[in-house]
Amino acid sequence: MSDVILEMKNINKEFPGVKALDNVSFRVKKGSVHALMGENGAGKSTLMKCLFGMYKKDSGQIILDGKEVEFKNAKTALEAGVAMVHQELNQALQRNIMDNLWLGRYPKVGGVITSEKKMYRDTLEIFDKLHVTVDPKRIMSTMPVSQRQMVEIGKAVSYDSKIIVFDEPTSSLTDKEVEKLFEIINMLRDQGCGIVYISHKMDEILKISDEVTIMRDGQWVATRDAKTLTINDIIKLMVGRELTNLYPPKTNKPGEVALKVEHMSAMYSHLTDVSLEVRRGEIIGLAGLDGSGRTEVLENIFGIATRKCGDIYLNGKKVDNKNSVSSIKNKFALLTEERRATGIFGIRDIRENTIISNLKKYKRRSGLLDNAKMKKDTAWSIQAMHIKTPSQDTAIRSLSGGNQQKVILGRWLLTEPEVLMLDEPTRGIDVGAKYEIYQLIIELAEKGKSVIMVSSEMPELLGVCDRIVVMSNGRVAGELAAEEANQEKIMSYAAKYL
């Protein structure tokens, strides 16, 4: 068909011990948004990495604009008009926006000297197209994730891309930022660009997409017109079964106060006079807009950010969480928001990533590590977390994002924490795996653990938590019991100190 800009035919890809793609076909029309959905490990990202030249397909055809192509690497893909905005941003954070946008292809004067004036002018021109107002000379590390993502989109636009792949683009964005992203995607679609949109957020899929392709276990399952689908249809096609409830029943029963934080302020952030209590067996949610201080609360409790003042008590005893080592010793655990930057050791295997926070447990009198015990505990974690992996020896970076998250969660459970702090625990995770993690969180609360959960998804907080504490501009703005909370009340508190 003449309106098809990209066609992938019968794509196969195997890794040691697993067939990642099994005869998958996929096509995208000009000026359309085609959503790609499936559980973690279904093959979505692998298929797009084969397109983008990051993986070499074993067999099959890729046809772009009527011509068969096979990109050797990301550079050749970009030069041919295929761009990818990755979920995990990989940027030169100490350089400015211009450097990141034109890295490897700086505009030259006379073919020799880099022209900063042209680079600045061209960057402004691209941002003007996207209706983005940001200084091209701003250093990347000073920007929130949402703005850093806009730089990646700007880079894609700068290549005059025919196809742009968005991999979980809204996982770190607020509702307002999502609306802005959708405006840009609609603008690109109107200009004739083909958009591939990978996401686990089904309400977004139905809002932004023209067509939806669903994969399961490395195989194509269905391609449907988005207008004909409901959320229940998508879930059934993704997981192969009915999923009647998105959230498990709350069977935990909060007891007496276990964790008490009093008048905590941060040394190097805007966190001011934060006090909160968490009961034994209770799940509390931390809500708020991006930059409200949710993550900073967890980091200051865990000791990886410096407290200016404030006291922390666990079971009535004052604890001094000076750093992560002392926090782990004091039975605290923190699953961080950015798993790639601060969660996983990408080149190490699953076993090493699982036991790394609990090494003392495996130390023999001889000083050597007990390999058999490490294997046993890793096997428990893989089974308990339902981690899809060929073996314990698989490098964690080869797993899907959701399975990486499960490995990290299993790591912390092996430390047997009393207080489990979770920063965006289901970010980039499919609906079936989300349910498993919710169930696990509730089971931990049933066993008397105190859980603090940060999430940008308000339905998730309402569905899982017993109580919701709302942050605004570094301060606690309000507190709501789950049964009285709704999105309007939470947003009202979130804007209190702005």
Tokens of 25: 């076909």
Strands (E), 217-297: 219-225, 257-266, 274-279, 283-287
Is pLDDT at 259 greater than 60 in this prediction? yes
State the virtual CA torsion across 196, 200, 204, 210 in degrees, nearest 10.
40
Amino acid at site 75: K
Is pLDDT at 425 greater than 50 in this prediction? yes
In this structure, how many other beta carbons lie within 10 angstroms of the beta carbon of residue 137?
13
CA angle (406, 412, 415) in 5-degree steps: 145
Per-residue model confidence as pLDDT tens digits over 290-312: 789 999 999 999 999 999 999 99
Name the least confident of 33-42, 152-161, 241-250, 404-413. 241-250
Q: Are strands 108-109 and 113-114 parallel, antiparallel or unpaired?
A: antiparallel
d(CA 150, CA 181): 8
Percent of the chain residues topping a pLDDT of 90: 56
Per-residue model confidence as pLDDT tens digits over 318-337: 999 999 999 999 999 999 88
Sign of the dihedral defined by the CA atoms of residues 74, 80, 83, 89, in that order: positive
64-90: average pLDDT: 89
The DSSP H or E segment spanning 377 is: helix 371-385
pLDDT category at 2 given cuts 50, 70, 90 is low
Closest CA to 123 of 104, 111, 108, 137: 137
Is pLDDT at 112 greater than 90 in this prediction? no
Q: What is the DSSP letter of 133?
A: -
Cα 124 to Cα 17, 78, 383: the distances in Å are: 48, 21, 51
411-424: average pLDDT: 93
Stronger pLDDT, 430 or 456, i.e. the higher one: 456
DSSP 444-492: HHHTT-EEEEE-S-HHHHHHH-SEEEEEETTEEEEEEETTT--HHHHHH
For the sheet containing 419-423, what is the strand order?
Answer: 332-335, 419-423, 450-454, 283-287, 467-472, 475-481
Express the helix, strand and coil content of the chain in percent, nearest 5 each.
35, 25, 35
Q: Are strands 317-319 and 307-314 parallel, antiparallel or unpaired?
A: antiparallel
Per-residue model confidence as pLDDT tens digits over 443-455: 999 999 999 999 9
410-432: average pLDDT: 88
Predicted local confidence at residue 241, as pLDDT: 62
d(CA 295, CA 297): 5
Predicted local confidence at residue 9, as pLDDT: 96
Closest CA to 470 of 483, 447, 488, 449: 488
Per-residue model confidence as pLDDT tens digits over 343-367: 888 889 999 999 998 888 899 988 8
Evaluate whether 245 touches 413 at the Cβ level (below 8 Å): no
Predicted local confidence at residue 242, as pLDDT: 60
75-82: average pLDDT: 92
Evaluate whether 247 touches 438 at the Cβ level (below 8 Å): yes
Predicted local confidence at residue 1, as pLDDT: 43
In whole numbers, what is the pLDDT of the chain averaged over residues?
89
Maximum average pLDDT range among 153-162, 453-462, 467-476:
467-476
Stronger pLDDT, 178 or 442, i.e. the higher one: 442
Predicted local confidence at residue 432, as pLDDT: 75
* 420 CB-contact burial (10 Å; exposed 0-12 / middle 13-18 / buried 19+): buried
Evaluate whether 265 touches 272 at the Cβ level (below 8 Å): yes
Is pLDDT at 23 greater than 90 in this prediction? yes
Q: Are strands 194-198 and 257-266 parallel, antiparallel or unpaired?
A: unpaired
Q: What is the DSSP letter of 142?
A: G
pLDDT category at 431 given cuts 50, 70, 90 is confident
